[in-house]
Amino acid sequence: SYPNESCGLIVNGDYLPCANVSNLPSEHFSISAAEYACAEDLGCVQAIVHSHPDASALPSLDDLFACGTSGVPVWLIQSVERGEGGAAQAGRLHQFTAQAFAQATASAPLIGARFVHGVDDCYGVVRRYYHAALGLELPD
């Protein structure tokens, strides 16, 4: 799928490639609810995997927030670059967990934060404030 992001799921130790249904597949990935449900029918989703074409394998803020809210314990990012002859070539593989999300959100500013609907939106800022100021965990 290079130069678009590829994506898939690890279910019961096996990799299941998924279609990237994002409206902007060169910059983001999205797995359809139907495809995700089919994967869940096969077993426990252990990890979400996606690629970063021509970019670092380190997670973006969007990746961190999505990991923290997905309920899936592990995410893997594979960097992919154009190799000799124009063929896609795998680079670094990076694994991260919801703990990375917790660390990122703990240090994210409450004022001036980037708005990401459903991830770091108005309610997300309220949740982070209550956690930081009062030590309370509000439900998502």
Give per-residue pLDDT as tens, 48-78. Answer: 999 999 999 998 878 887 887 888 989 999 9
Please give the residue range of the domain that contains residue 113. 108-140
More confident residue, 88 or 32: 32
Kindly state whether residues 112 and 136 are assigned to the same domain.
Answer: yes
Kindly state whether residues 62 and 101 are assigned to the same domain.
Answer: yes
Kindly state whether residues 138 and 117 are assigned to the same domain.
Answer: yes
Q: What angle (nearest 5°) sits at the alpha carbon of residue 35, between those of residues 33 and 39?
A: 110
Q: What is the pLDDT of residue 106?
A: 64
Q: Is the peptide bond before 3 cis (omega within 30 degrees of 0)?
A: yes
Cα–Cα distances in angstroms (integers) from residue 61 to residues 10, 11, 84, 131, in the given order: 22, 25, 31, 19
More confident residue, 30 or 128: 30
Kindly state whether residues 33 and 84 are assigned to the same domain.
Answer: yes
Kindly state whether residues 76 and 22 are assigned to the same domain.
Answer: yes
Kindly state whether residues 16 and 71 are assigned to the same domain.
Answer: yes
Kindly state whether residues 54 and 120 are assigned to the same domain.
Answer: no
Kindly state whether residues 91 and 126 are assigned to the same domain.
Answer: no
Name, of 37-41, 126-130, 131-135, the range with top average pLDDT: 37-41
Kindly state whether residues 86 and 36 are assigned to the same domain.
Answer: yes
- 1 found inside a domain: no
Count of structural domains, the chain: 2
Question: From CA 101, how far away is CA 69, in angstroms rounded?
Answer: 9
* 10 pLDDT more than 90: yes
Q: What is the pLDDT of residue 99?
A: 72
Strand partners, 89: 81
What is the pLDDT confidence band of residue 107, given thresholds at 50, 70 and 90?
Answer: low
Q: Return phi, psi of residue 98, to 5°.
A: -65, -20
Kindly state whether residues 64 and 127 are assigned to the same domain.
Answer: no
- 2 found inside a domain: no
